[in-house]
Each structure stands twice: as C-alpha cells, then as structure tokens.
Chain A
Amino acid sequence: MSRTRQSAHQTAEARDGPLTDAAIRPVTRRVAIAGGAAVGVLAVTGQAFAHPEAPDWADAITEFADGAGIGEAGPEITINAPDLAEYGNSVPLEIAAEGAVGYLIVARANPHAVIARITLAPELGGRFRTRIRLADSQPVEIFARLANGRVLRAGKHVAVTVGGCVS
C-alpha cells in the first residue's frame, strides 16, 4: 500500500507538477482504489455507492398503494425541503397534505431508497416533519394516502453538495 501510494504520487508529480490540492485529490482516489480501500474514499466523496441489494422501493410503493391507482399530486401535497443541501446527512423535510393518513418517503439514489413509512391519525391534519439522509442529488418522492383512499405522488428535487454517508 505504501509503495503504491509513493509511486502514484511520483507519477502525478511528474505529470501535473507540484502537488497542489487539485493534483492531490485524484491521486488520492487512484491510490486508494489500487490499495483496495476504495470504500473509505468513496464515503468521503459521498458518491458512487454500489447498491448492496436490489431496489427496495418498487415493492414498497406497491405495498403502500395497496391496490389504489397512484395519481400525480397537484397542490394537495406540500413538500418543504431545501433546493440545495450542503450536506446530505441531515436534510430537513416537511410534508403536508390535508387529511393525509399515511406517507411513504422514497429517495431512489440512496442505497436504501425507502426512507420511512408513516401512518398518521386522521385528526392530526397531515403535517409531518423529519430530517433525512440523501446520498446524492435527487428527487425526493412523497406518496400520500388521503383519508378518502386516494394515493398521490409528489416530488421535490434536492441538490446535495456532499452526500450523506447513507448507505
């Protein structure tokens, strides 16, 4: 490992000149991959996670809809989340759909896409707030079950500068 690091540094130095920040970054990644320790570096950059298992969101959506057709929501669902989150490890998310009795929160670019299933008593009014992890920039999808049985879908794109170590 140390020998690999040494030679990679030399290679980079020879090609790119003195080791500036910009020069170090790609080198570090190559060295780590060569050394078989890619996981650590990828976690730092927060990108390129391999999905450890088959997508779980499709089943979760089917189960949540429970036979009802899923309609695209208009103004029925309000999603409050930042357009840009500097860090993906704690992104505030507020959902409000008048009279909602259930929500499903899905972020497909996360290693585990199903963030939460929420059941609400009808008298609560449907507003719910939490903080979520986002591995990468992506639309956060909200499925809402209303008291009348309708199931609606809405989404809000959140750009993430540094992905949360979600996985």
Chain B
Amino acid sequence: MKARAKVPKTAAIGEVIVIKTLLTHPMETGHRPHRETGELIPRDIVTRFQARFNDRLLVDVDLGSGIAANPYFDFDFKVAEAGVFRFDWTDEHGRHVMLEKPLALT
C-alpha cells in the first residue's frame, strides 16, 4: 500500500494539468491459485479511490477485481486556484492510505 501521485508543483490559472496516481497493491482476485500449493490466494483488493482538491471531490472510483494490480488512474484537471490535492485509497479490510500534494500558482 505505497501511494504515489504525480502532480505539477505549479500551474497557471486556466491551465489543464494531468494528475497521475498509483498505489502499490496486488489486487488479488481470490481466484488465483498459489504457484506451489495450488490453494487459492485469498481475495485482497482496493475497493475505493477518491481524489479531492481543496476538499472538493473530483474523482470517486468503486474498484472491482478487474482493475489491474497496482491500480493506476490518470485524469485532467483545469486549474482555477492554488490548493491541495488529496488522494485516498481504501481496501476491503479497511486499510487506508492518504496522500496530499500542494499546487501553487505560477
């Protein structure tokens, strides 16, 4: 559950920036047998991702097991003010990772 987000440190008002996020996570589907024992590896997936800017919700994703391991998302954001991006990942066991990235105006 190591989180990364790539966000420009500065941008101009009106500029469209790309936000890229990645969480290190196996996204175990629960149907994959162990290579040696043949027993199924228990399901373990991230079920929720949220991105916010200055507490405003931008992106909200319900993930299924069809999202690849190390869930990756990217999307565009049009800059209107300085502030802080906040990214939250939650898995089905309630584990949670939060990451914040500031954005300054040029």
Contact = CB atoms under 8 A, between A and B. Distances in A.
B31 A52 contact: yes
Interface stretch (B5-13, B71-79, B84-92, B98-106): B71-79
Interface string B60-88: 11111111110111111110000000000
B58 interface: yes
A115 B45 CA distance: 12
B33 interface: yes
Contacts of A114: 64, 66
Where chain B touches its partner, the secondary structure class is strand
A30 interface: no
Interface in B1-56: 16, 29-33, 38, 40, 56
Interface residues of B, number: 30
B97 interface: no
A129 interface: yes
Interface in A33-56: 37, 39-40, 43, 49, 52
A133 B38 CA distance: 21
Given A113-B66, A131-B67, 9 more contacts: A37-B38, A43-B32, A52-B31, A116-B64, A117-B62, A118-B59, A119-B57, A123-B77, A167-B30
